[in-house]
Amino acid sequence: MKDMIRNPILPGFNPDPSICRVGEDYYIATSTFEWYPGVQIHHSRDLANWQLASRPLERASQLDMRGNPDSCGIWAPCLSYADGVFWLIYTDMKRYEGNFKDGHNYLVTASAIEGPWSDPVYLNSSGFDPSLFHDEDGRKWLVNLQWNYRQREGGDRFGGILLQEYDTERRRLVGPIHNIFAGTEMKLTEGPHLYRRDGWYHLLVAEGGTGYGHAVTMARSRALTGPYEVHPDNPVLSTREDPDNPLQRAGHADLVETPEGETWMVHLCGRPLPGTRRSPRGRETAIQKVEWGADGWLRLAHGGNAPAHEVPMPGVEQLPPAAEEAYEFKSDRLPVAFQWLRTPEPQRLFSLSERPGYLRLFGRESVGAWFEQALVARRQDSIYCSAETELEFEPEDLQQFAGLIAYYNRFKFHYLAVTRGDKGDKVLCVMSCPDDWPSGSLEIADVGEVVLEPGLPIRLGLDIHEGELQFRYAQGDGAWRAIGPALDAGLLSDEGSGRAHGYFTGNFLGMAAHDISGRGTPADFTEFRYRRKPR
C-alpha cells in the first residue's frame, strides 16, 4: 500500500509496544509472556515495514520461566537508547491471579540491538510495567506502577506510579521513592512512560484495563516529581466508545519522534473475529500520527481519540506479508519465526542436529505443562490461514503422542496427534480443551478408527477461517482428508474462556510431542508451512 500505513504494523501476538529511534532506525520491543526467548524487538527504517531483529533474553542468567503460570513471564518491556547503549527494562511475572502479584523488574543493556545483551541488573518488585526515563541532565529514573494487594473500596489494586532514581555506577536504585500520579477516574493506571518537552514532564499511562475499556491518558508537570495535571481531553486514545472500530482494546502506548520532528504513537490493539469479542491473534501493535497542540498537549493528528485503521504517510509503501512461509529444518538454528515455552534449556525439548534435516522433538510433560513442554510454534497472524507439517513418529502406547497443534494455553488448544489406540494400532486422534478448569476438561473428538500405516510419514494440516478450525491429514502420497468436526477457533483467544480478566497472549500454530510416561520418545518433523489465505 502506497502513501498509507495499514494497522496493525505488527500483526499477531505483539502487545505492549515500546519504541525508540537511533538515527534513521526505529525499534519496537513487545511482550512475550511465557514464550522463549523473551522480548521481541522489531526494526524499521520507515515506521511501516518491520522485521524481527532480536529476542534478547535467551539464556538462563537472563530469564528462566519454568513454573510460571499462563500469561505470566515477560510483561511490558521498555526499550530506550542513551549514552551509546540500548537499555531494556522488563518484568518477569511469577504470579498474577488473586490479590498478589510477584513481578520482578530487571535491566539489561547492549551496544547493538542484535546483542550480546548483558546479564540482568535486579531493580525492584514493587509493581510491573517498568520504564526508564533519561532526563536532559543525564540522570536516569525508573517509573513503574505500585501494586496494592489491599483493594480499596470503590477502587482497584493499582496504587499509582512510582518514581525512583537509577544510579548507573552503583547499578541500583537509589534515593527516595515518589508516588507521582494516582491516575484518573478511569483507574487501573499502568504502563507509564515519561517524556520532556518545552519545560514540561509529560506522563503517558494506560488505563481502564487491557480489555475493551482500555485507553491511553496523559498528564504533565513542571517538576519531575509532580504534581501532575491531567490532559483536558483524556483519553487521548481509546475505542471504549467506538465498538465498530476494527482496532479494539486500544491502549498501552509509547511515543517516538522522527528526524524531521514528527511525533508518532505506537499502541496495542486487538482485532476481534467478526461479530464477536474474541481475538485469536491476541493483542497487536498499531501506529498513529500525533501532534502537539498550541496548548502543549498531545492529540491524534486525525482528530478525536479513536485509532485509525489506515494512517497517511506520503512516500512510504507498506509491503504485504508473504502468502506462504515454508520452513525446512536443514540448519542448526531454529527458524526465527518459532518460539517455545518457558525454559532456557531448549536442548531438552528439541534438536536440529540429532537427525540432520529434521526438527526432533523429545516428548516431555503433558499439554500445557508449566515446566517442560516440547512445543515449537509460530504466531497466528491471520484469521484466514493454514498450517501443515510432516511427521515421522512411532509411539509405543497411548501416553506418547505428537502432531500439529493450535495452542493458546494449557486450557485452550486443539491438537491433531498421532498415538496408539486401545487395540495397539497407530492412530490419529483430535484432542481439544475448550475452557478453563474445572468447568472445562480435555475432550477427545470421535473421529472413527483412523488407523495409520506403520513406518510411513504422515502429513498433518489445519485450516482456519475466521472462527472455525478444521484438521486434515494425508499419508504417503495420498490426498488430504478432513478429520474430526469443525472446531471453535475463537476460543483460542484472550477472551475465549469467558474469564472476567482474560489472558494476555495469542494463538500459536506449531509442532508438539508429549510423552507423559517420562521416556522422552522423539518425534521427527521434516517441514512446516504457514499460508495466509485471501479473504
Instruction: List the CATH number of the domain containing 353.
Output: 2.60.120.200
If DSSP codes are grouped into helix, strand and coil, which group holds residue 425? Answer: coil
Per the domain annotation, does 514 fall within a domain? yes
Of residues 92, 293, 324, the one with CA closest to residue 198: 293
- Do 350 and 309 share a structural domain? no
Helix, strand, coil content of the chain in percent (nearest 5): 0, 50, 50
Q: Is omega for the bond preceding 227 within 30 degrees of 0, making it cis?
A: yes
Last residue of a domain, one of 290, 313, 336: 313
pLDDT at position 253 is: 98
Per the domain annotation, does 376 fall within a domain? yes
Q: What is the pLDDT along the chain (535 residues), one digit of tens a residue?
A: 799 999 999 999 999 999 999 999 999 999 999 999 999 999 999 999 999 999 999 999 999 999 999 999 999 999 999 999 999 999 999 998 888 999 999 999 999 999 999 999 999 999 999 999 999 999 999 999 999 988 766 678 999 999 999 999 999 999 999 999 999 999 999 999 999 999 999 999 999 999 999 999 999 999 999 999 999 999 999 999 999 999 999 999 999 999 999 999 999 999 999 999 999 999 999 999 999 999 999 999 999 999 999 999 999 999 999 999 999 999 999 999 999 999 999 999 999 999 999 999 999 999 999 999 999 999 999 999 999 999 999 999 999 999 999 999 998 999 999 999 989 999 999 999 876 655 556 777 767 678 998 888 999 999 999 999 999 999 988 999 999 999 999 999 988 866 545 689 999 999 999 999 999 999 999 999 999 988 6
pLDDT at position 273 is: 96
- Do 274 and 175 share a structural domain? yes
- Do 420 and 309 share a structural domain? no
pLDDT at position 398 is: 94
Of residues 387, 392, 529, the one with CA closest to residue 457: 392
Q: How many domains does the structure of the chain reveal? A: 2
- Do 242 and 172 share a structural domain? yes
As given in the structure block, the three cell numbers for residue 440 are 472445562
Last residue of a domain, one of 288, 313, 338: 313
CB neighbours of residue 478 within 10 Å: 12
Q: How far apart are CA 459 and CA 168, in angstroms?
A: 54
pLDDT at position 244 is: 96
- Do 332 and 309 share a structural domain? no
- What per-residue string of b and e applies to 309-339 under the rule 16 or more CB within 10 Å gives b? eebebeebebeeeeeeeebebeeeebbeebb
pLDDT at position 334 is: 97
- Do 255 and 389 share a structural domain? no
pLDDT at position 98 is: 83
Whether pTM exceeds 0.85 = yes
- Do 283 and 409 share a structural domain? no
Question: Under 8 Å CB-to-CB from 249, ≥6 apart: which residues?
Answer: 210, 211, 212, 214, 239, 268, 269, 270, 279, 283
Per the domain annotation, does 248 fall within a domain? yes
Strand partners, 356: none
- Do 48 and 163 share a structural domain? yes
pLDDT at position 500 is: 46
Phi, psi of 351 (to 5 degrees): -145, 140
Per the domain annotation, does 56 fall within a domain? yes
H helices present in 337-440, as ranges: none
**Pair 180, 163: CB distance under 8 Å:** yes
- Do 272 and 131 share a structural domain? yes
Q: Strand 283-292 and strand 40-44: pairing?
A: unpaired
**Pair 409, 502: CB distance under 8 Å:** no
Q: How far apart are CA 477 and CA 230, in angstroms?
A: 66
- Do 365 and 222 share a structural domain? no
Angle CA(125)–CA(131)–CA(133) in degrees, nearest 5?
130
CA dist list (Å): 200 to 78, 164, 207, 256: 21, 18, 21, 17
**Pair 75, 17: CB distance under 8 Å:** no
Per the domain annotation, does 319 fall within a domain? no
If DSSP codes are grouped into helix, strand and coil, which group holds residue 150? Answer: coil
**Pair 469, 463: CB distance under 8 Å:** yes
Last residue of a domain, one of 313, 335, 361: 313
The secondary structure of 11-76 as a DSSP string is -SS--S-EEEEETTEEEEEE--BTEESB-EEEEESSSS--EEEE--B-STTT---TTPPTT-EEEE
As given in the structure block, the three cell numbers for residue 415 are 491438537
Task: List the domain range (segments joined by +) for residue 226.
Answer: 2-313
- Do 328 and 306 share a structural domain? no
pLDDT at position 434 is: 76
CATH number for position 205: 2.115.10.20
- Do 525 and 435 share a structural domain? yes
Q: How far apart are CA 489 and CA 270, in angstroms?
A: 16
Strand partners, 207: 215
Of residues 273, 350, 286, 368, the one with CA closest to residue 71: 368
Q: How far apart are CA 19 and CA 290, in angstroms?
A: 15
Q: How far apart are CA 287 and CA 221, in angstroms?
A: 26
Question: Both ends of the chain: CA-CA distance in Å?
Answer: 17
Q: Is omega for the bond preceding 116 within 30 degrees of 0, making it cis?
A: yes
pLDDT at position 534 is: 80
Question: Which residue among the candidates 262, 365, 372, 466 is catalytic per the annotation?
Answer: 372
Per the domain annotation, does 10 fall within a domain? yes
Per the domain annotation, does 318 fall within a domain? no
Per the domain annotation, does 120 fall within a domain? yes
Q: How far apart are CA 337 and CA 58, in angstroms?
A: 15
**Is 394 an annotated catalytic residue?**
no
pLDDT at position 446 is: 67
Phi, psi of 56 (to 5 degrees): -70, -25
CA dist list (Å): 302 to 276, 288, 312, 314: 27, 9, 10, 15
Of residues 238, 337, 324, 336, the one with CA closest to residue 286: 238
CB neighbours of residue 371 within 10 Å: 13
